Amino acid sequence: MSTQDIAGRLIHLCRNGEFIQAEEELYWQNAIQIEATGEKFEGIENLILKEKQFLDKLTEKPVVNVSDAIIASDFFAIKMHMEYVHKETGSGIIDEILVYKVNNGKIVLLVCYF
């Protein structure tokens, strides 16, 4: 898959709230994610676990808006805005720019900015 194909598929899945499927389908097994806080996660199992732990603590399906991608070579960026209700902390908003690096048809790196 090309960078454009991966970006399009990721956007489709995220707009439908299919975050785990996106990771399982599009990420390399040794992918790295760096949060805006500087926290780093390595390996698809850890990325999926982090996502599941977050989603399991929501009281309802979050409202998600995802922009179209900006693509340059092996990189693409999207803006994601999510409104959610967390069981422990209440209402919250995530408003991020997400930058992805693609190699050999898989996402190998995700860096989050807010």
Q: Number of structural domains, the chain?
A: 1
Question: What's the pTM?
Answer: 0.94
**Which residue range(s) make up the domain with 95?**
3-113
Residues facing 106 on adjacent strands: 103
CB 35, CB 112: distance < 8 Å = yes
CATH number, domain at 99? 3.10.450.50
Confidence of residue 107 (pLDDT cuts 50, 70, 90): very high
pLDDT, tens only, 78-88: 999 999 999 99
| Beta-sheet pairing, 27-34 with 106-113 | parallel
- pLDDT for res 67: 98
pLDDT, tens only, 18-68: 999 999 999 999 999 999 999 999 999 999 999 999 999 999 999 999 999
